[in-house]
Structure 1
């Protein structure tokens, strides 16, 4: 079916609205960076201890672990559109709870709701985008996630130091409100409508997303979608039956490890505690300014993943990133070790900023988006939804472990040990990716499944 850029104007408009959802998620993750130092200050309106601060930062991930496990039922019952609206409404409620909090326990409750809603929104956005896109626009729509998340991070980094506690929440809650006001007018996913037997509505939805193409063109695409869904239903088996297949077991193992490695690279520690880390480093620059610098580079580097993947695939960038992050965190740990042992580091107090910038550049182009891309490749279609929910739950569970115990380890053993743990984790990740992750560059989805199941693959002369 022919389609020019004008026919995709509705898809591009949808991409802008979807970016508001991702930016809302980014605000939740980085809200603690400017907020925790303020709450832990002596003149805080709600004084908290460092231990309570670690719970405020990490408890969000408990709600995030539940979100993916319930997302499948909600997406099937409510649909993609209303699940996303529900997620945004819950996000608004969480901000209201945080704004009205009168004790630390209410802050915990607000953060749990935040985690649940962000996980639900993330899972629903991925599915919605996949189902409304055509082949040409899919890459563009999918690539909005990392950039849009970075916008949310930067909103907190740049606005947080200059706004009061409640005003920062007011600014943050505007994003999910705007998302609902715009998204509510968009059509439901044509795939979901077909699954519910609403063929006429699915044709109308598809025509809108394709720029009001002729009805016969939409009907042809609907037939293809119906055929694909019919094949999936024919092959549908229970998750645990599918997991008896060797290739599926390998895929789940690889996916879960990459999600754990993503978090043990230290990303959420950087995002949630960036101002505190710079404060501990004693750098001459204000900690808030350092966070702004890191956030700016994250925004810049978020567009590098797509060209890297296109040229090198997934495996090579992950291997190189593992080495770079290992070095960056080792140097960061060494700096804090010298600082703790009383060495004069005033002449090298620029090291934390440089290391953090290099880390965020590396992460945003590799360990941020690529593990999700690997998941899209290594699971068969009839396993992808259930597997993605489990993998996302693993991601949030690991997020909780890393963010909760970062401050405990830093307090008892020194912040240098925390960064060295991240460094060692990346060494482990390097060897895992090198030995166990298949190099899927130039391979079809069927070839990938054959490789995971150790079947002989016919050579493809067109592979680059």
Structure 2
């Protein structure tokens, strides 16, 4: 649909290297002004170098809309499970509630596997479009549910979409955007997730389970209507040897007629890549290093306890013994977190991925430790009445710093550090690992809250995050404003990188 519309547009024209002729007007101007043709070509090339980014940004916003629904799914337990008590139309026990929360992570294991297997066959756009089906099934089942198992299945279905999206969307954005805005575009998913939190925490307490499920279909409907007009990735087209379609896509995305240099660079990158495969992730040194870096940043995202804390946020806030309305606090926290996500999208290209991730990781460690100390003082029978605001402030700061870097950076890194022939496999492995963690951590958190003191849980989270921060300080490279080729050179073993540098110097 997109390509046919673009081909029929009279406002756009593609000029390839084999298809360049001067117009009659150009020739007459040359003869009148006696200007050399080479000069005209240079001036024309300079004018065409400038690209416009607004359609790239609009496309990034639309393709990240499914994360709006993902945010609603993550926030759903915090605003709904507490209502499913004796007297409601559906009663869920504490243990059953723990399984319902973990179901999203379980589905998240399946999503990346499916995405990795079919990503290069179906294309990026249509695979992302298809993730709407499990989301719709989730809310329909939630509306019709009469037993807790149906809610488990609903959450499992939504987890499939969330897991697949985490694998595909970063790849798509990395392939349609220019390096100068790639970080900001990739960070938009964090903004959408927090808009979903605000939606969930704001409307969840006001609506019953069934009405909330119906209202939650709205973001998916909006995505289905708008995503039809998005282009497929030019990388995907060129891998399938559809150069005309790739050229049309770049004309639309860059808003300039001549994109021959970029097409040439993409083709060279594709040709230089060896045949991809699952085993290459663990045998090719650069791929293995990239995978370890990706697993590191995903570990920072999942093992900081964000999924568990978000799912049980209502219960946690009540333990602070505050005189505030807990529903208002639940709504205020994601609003502040949304602001943090927006700031992250502004800073991630200016200051770099490394700085943003490390500041977020160390800040998260500190916030978790402060909450742990508060619960420890309570366990030691120290009067904490005057300190009730301290853990709340630490919790707000925790969500802010997590949103600032830990949530956004893994998606950006995913889109940057793998060549196109390895992205599907790499994101599958990384996101399956992340989904396993997102399944285990909330369930372990629910069991730990029942059998352990709260301070132990938060100290464990803080210790894990501190270790990840130290490792990242040593090994996390900076990829901001670098082309895919430059990033691959960074990931090469030092001896191989040195040989390539010496070879280039000789040339």
Q: Same-fold call, TM > 0.5? A: yes
Of residues 437, 443, 448 in structure 1, which corresponds to 2:490? 448
Q: Aligned Cα RMSD in Å?
A: 2.8
Distance 2:179 2:470 in 1: 34
Q: Is 1:29 matched up with 2:74? A: yes
Of residues 115, 127, 136 in structure 2, which corresponds to 1:92? 136
Contact 1:378–1:448 (Cα < 8 Å) also in 2: no
Which deviates more from structure 2 when the two are superposed, residues 398-407 or residues 182-191?
A: 182-191
Mark the CA change 1:288 to 1:341 in structure 2 (over 3 Å): closer, same or farther: farther
Distance 1:376 1:412 in 2: 40
User: After the TM superposition, which residues 11-410 of structure 1 pair with which residues of structure 2 at under 5 Å, given as runs?
Assistant: 11-39=56-84, 41-211=85-255, 213-214=256-257, 217-218=258-259, 221-232=262-273, 235-306=274-345, 308-310=347-349, 312-339=351-378, 343-380=382-419, 382-410=421-449
Which deviates more from structure 2 when the two are superposed, residues 429-438 or residues 74-83?
A: 429-438
Which deviates more from structure 2 when the two are superposed, residues 91-100 or residues 20-29?
A: 20-29
Mark the CA change 1:394 to 1:440 in structure 2 (over 3 Å): closer, same or farther: same
Distance 2:99 2:281 in 1: 37
Provide, for residues 40-92 of structure 1, a one-character-per-residue CA deviation record: whole Å limited to 9, x for no partner: x3333211111111111111111111111110233223222221221012211
* Secondary structure of residue in 2 paired with 1:243: helix
Contact 2:290–2:491 (Cα < 8 Å) also in 1: no
Contact 1:290–1:353 (Cα < 8 Å) also in 2: no
Which deviates more from structure 2 when the two are superposed, residues 378-387 or residues 355-364?
A: 378-387
Quote the offset at 1:25 in angstroms: 1.7
Distance 1:13 1:241 in 2: 35
* Secondary structure of residue in 1 paired with 2:370: helix
Mark the CA change 1:352 to 1:38 in structure 2 (over 3 Å): closer, same or farther: farther
Contact 1:246–1:453 (Cα < 8 Å) also in 2: no
Mark the CA change 1:378 to 1:18 in structure 2 (over 3 Å): closer, same or farther: closer
TM-score (norm 1): 0.88
Quote the offset at 1:379 in angstroms: 4.0
Quote the offset at 1:374 in angstroms: 4.0
Contact 1:410–1:417 (Cα < 8 Å) also in 2: no
Contact 2:184–2:348 (Cα < 8 Å) also in 1: no
Distance 1:441 1:178 in 2: 32
Quote the offset at 1:4 in angstroms: 5.7
Contact 2:166–2:411 (Cα < 8 Å) also in 1: no
* Secondary structure of residue in 2 paired with 1:265: coil
Can you give the 5+ residue segments of structure 1 that lack an aligned partner in the other structure? 460-464
Distance 1:363 1:272 in 2: 15
Quote the offset at 1:3 in angstroms: 6.3
TM-score (norm 2): 0.81
* Secondary structure of residue in 1 paired with 2:338: helix
* Secondary structure of residue in 1 paired with 2:86: coil
Provide, for residues 304-329 of structure 1, a one-character-per-residue CA deviation record: whole Å limited to 9, x for no partner: 33455445544444444443322211
Equivalent position of 1:462 in the other structure = none
Computing the radius of gyration from Cα coordinates, the structure with the larger value is: 2
Distance 1:218 1:391 in 2: 33
Which deviates more from structure 2 when the two are superposed, residues 286-295 or residues 248-257?
A: 248-257
Quote the offset at 1:378 in angstroms: 4.5
Task: Give the number of equivalent residue pairs.
Answer: 452
Distance 2:498 2:242 in 1: 42
